[in-house]
Amino acid sequence: MSGFTPDAPGAEVRVSPNFGPRRETLVPDMIVLHYTGMATGAGAEAWLCDPASEVSSHYLVHEDGRVVQMVRESDRAWHAGKSSWFGRTDINSCSVGMEIVNPGHSLGYPGFPRRQIEAVIELCKGIAARHAIPARRVLAHSDVAPGRKIDPGEKFPWRQLFAAGVGHLVVASPIRGGPALRQGDTGPAVETLQSMLGLYGYGVEISGIFDQQTRIVVEAFQRHFRPRLVDGQADGSTLRTLERLLASK
């Protein structure tokens, strides 16, 4: 394919060969946000279009706000890998993927520039409108692949997106110390925590045992919804934030 008309008005088109058809009859009902985790945006753009990489994304958003579309929204891009949300595992078939240029945690993890976030907001609004994607389904790669991925990370300004009408959030409950559920704990309180995480969509086994997978999912939850402290311990602030999130529209 030499080119296509971008789904997002104003986007540049640079075609990636790394895509296929969406499986079954799946249509996009989720937006998954990533960071590129590479030294430069140009390098990331080349990588996502290199057949050898076998990865792609529908969109790439550069630091200066420039948007590049690489895969049509109707097609299946290869961005999420092994993932899960509400028990569904072929996330690539039901999502639109957006790579946001940022070198990531292993290369200093700078903040996201304002112009870049403004472009992300506009792009998300357009995608959500075209596919009737609900606010709760604008997610981080780390939400759908906890333990394996931590992008776009705790510096990503979810609050700014939410203030602009993108995504689902509550103001995190204050951190006050006190008792917390942590790895090794067992019992009904752990089962309740796991159930609540599962009700929101996270892939966690409900066992009543606060095991490693539970800690990893709690970290993923905190990274998105209580980013001030990502420690994998379900303290009062984490639990109240999760309860309020589940109760909010």
Q: What is the bridge-based pairing of β-strands 138-140 and 96-100?
A: unpaired
Q: Specify the amino acid at residue 43.
A: G
Known catalytic residue: 99? yes
Between residue 34 and residue 93, which ones bind Zn ion under the rule CB under 5 A? 34
45, 99, 122, 219: the active-site residue = 99
Q: Specify the DSSP class assigned to residue 181.
A: B
Window of 121-129, 143-151, 181-189, 215-223 that interacts with Zn ion by CB under 5 A: 143-151
For Zn ion, the closer CB: 161 or 196: 161
For Zn ion, the closer CB: 151 or 154: 151
Between residue 145 and residue 184, which ones bind Zn ion under the rule CB under 5 A? 151
User: Any contact of residue 141 with Zn ion (CB under 5 A)?
Assistant: yes
Q: How far is CA 230 from CA 41, 45, 189, 195, 235, in A?
A: 27, 30, 20, 20, 11
Between residue 16 and residue 45, which ones bind Zn ion under the rule CB under 5 A? 34
For Zn ion, the closer CB: 141 or 208: 141
CB of 180 to Zn ion, least distance (A): 29
Q: How far is CA 248 from CA 13, 44, 50, 57, 135, in A?
A: 38, 37, 42, 31, 11
Q: Specify the amino acid at residue 162.
A: F
Residues that bind Zn ion (CB under 5 A): 34, 141, 151
